[in-house]
Structure formats: structure tokens, C-alpha cells
Amino acid sequence: MDWLEEELTQALARQEPGAGFDARVRARLHRRPPQWLAVAAAILVTIGAGEAWQQYRGRVAKEQVMTAMRIAGSKLSRVQAQVKGSEQ
Amino acid sequence: MVFSVLWHFLHDRELAEELAQDVFLSLHKNLNTIETAAHAGFWLRKVAVQRAIDAARKRSRRPQVSLEEVAEPSVRPAAGDPMLGEMLRRLIATLPEGPRMAMILRYQEDMDPAEIAETMGIPLGTVKSHIQRSLSLLREKLERRGVGER
């Protein structure tokens, strides 16, 4: 190793990070998830709940329509039977 | 070792510390892939090298100091002078990424060219060439500034 290489070894000697480096790494390791993540999760839950509610309302409305049609159908059958009876 | 590689490569203490923390957090996530202490050392060096080069590329849009722009000291430092150490660090900071990292691993970590090639993921010949060219360039710049062997 010549004089320049010896100088380089000294010039590039290892540097230590600031005091408390280990503690800062440990703190980052146990850090809570960022706030934006909680907000994003809340938005996704809200959107999901909204869609589920819309689907539920759609199902209820469909059942109501079907019930109404069944009622209307039975009334129509009764009226048709009465009309047939009066003709005979 | 991790912080020091990052600091010598980037010359930004805050960024070096942040990236060093990232490297250790990454090690924690990948602990199940680490087999021995030597493997952990190799892994840490390799990831630190990658992070340092990525960070340097990200900030490469900023104007860089060229080798010619490194200020000449008012007093010529002699071998063993702390001013020479500072001048060398500044000259190394002006080297391109590959040669700069090879020089840091060679003279800070005392790694041989084969280990450097494995860590940096480049051919052995390239590492040898980086080191030889960098040494010649540094010698030439120092001689131009009147610094030489005692």
C-alpha cells in the first residue's frame, strides 16, 4: 500500500451515525401505520358499506314489486273468475 | 459500516442516517432469509450500496460539483495532514457513482476487488479498472495541487 492508499484509508475511516441511532431504528420499527392509511381504510369501508346498503335496498324494492305483482295477479284471477261466472 | 458507506457516498448526514435506518428495517423484514452473521454483513453492505446509488440517482438533477471545481486549499497539505484527508474526501465525492463506491468499499471497508464486485454486482475487471483509474486521477489532481509523497 503506497502513501496515497494509506491516506485514503485514513480519509475514508468509518463514520458513526448520531447518538441514539439504534433507538430511532427501533422507534420506526414499532411506529403506527401512517394516518393516511387509516383515512384510506375508513373511506374504503364507507364505500363498501354504501354499496351493500344500495344492494339491500334494491333487493327489498324487488321483493316489494314481486309481492305487488302477486297481489295484482290474484286479484285479476278473481275478477276473471267472476266475469266468467256472470257470463254463464 | 452501513451509515459510513452511505455518508461517504452521499455526503449528506441526514439522508445517510435515514437510508441507514431503512437498511436496518429492511434487514428486520428479511431476517428469515439470513443464514449467518457473515451473510448479514454481506446483505447489509449490498443493500446499503444499492440504496446509496439509488439516492444519488434520484438527486442527480441537482448540479454536481465537478473535479475541477474542488477548491484549492490556500496552504498545500502534506501527507498525514487532516486537510489532505478532507481534500481526498471531496475529490472522491466528485467521482462517478461506480468508481466512487468501489473506492469507498476498498478503502473504508478494506474489501478486496472480488468482494467489491460481488457486493456491487459488477464484473471483477470493472472494479479493478474503477480503482486503478480513480487512484491515477487522484494522484494526478493532488500533484497538480502540489501534494505528493513526503
Per-residue pLDDT of chain B (150 residues; tens, 9 = 90+): 899 999 999 988 999 999 999 999 999 888 888 888 888 899 999 999 999 999 998 887 554 555 555 555 555 565 567 788 888 999 999 999 999 999 999 999 999 999 999 999 999 999 999 999 999 999 998 888 777 665
Using the Cα atoms of residue B130, residue B135, residue B141 and residue B144 in order, give the sign of their dihedral.
negative
The count of structural domains within chain B is: 2
This prediction's pTM: 0.67
Cross-chain CB nearest to B85 (options A10, A16, A18): A10
Same domain, B112 and B50: no
- The residues on B that touch A, with CB distances below 8 Å, are 1, 3-4, 7-8, 13, 16-17, 20-21, 24-25, 28, 79-80, 84-86, 88-89, 92, 103-104, 107-108, 110, 135, 138-139, 142, 149-150
| Cβ contact A7–B84 (<8 Å) | yes
Chain B contact set for A28 (CB, 8 A): 21, 25
- Kindly provide the ipTM of the predicted complex, given to two decimals: 0.80
Has residue B69 been placed in a domain? no
Cross-chain CB nearest to B79 (options A7, A12, A14): A7
Same domain, B144 and B97: yes
Task: Supply the pLDDT for residue B63.
Answer: 45
With beta carbons less than 8 A apart as the criterion, state whether B19 and B52 touch: yes
Residue B80 belongs to domain with CATH number:
1.10.10.10
Same domain, B32 and B53: yes
Name the residue type at position B71: A
Same domain, B98 and B147: yes
Name the residue type at position B5: V
Task: Supply the pLDDT for residue B22.
Answer: 92
Same domain, B92 and B120: yes
Same domain, B56 and B81: no
CA dist B9 and B101 (Å) reads 7
Per-residue pLDDT of chain A (88 residues; tens, 9 = 90+): 788 899 999 999 988 888 888 899 899 888 766 666 667 777 777 777 777 788 888 888 888 888 888 888 888 888 788 888 877 6
Print burial letters for B9-37: b (CB count within 10 Å at least 16), e (below 16): bbeeeebbbebbbbbbeebeeeeeeeeee
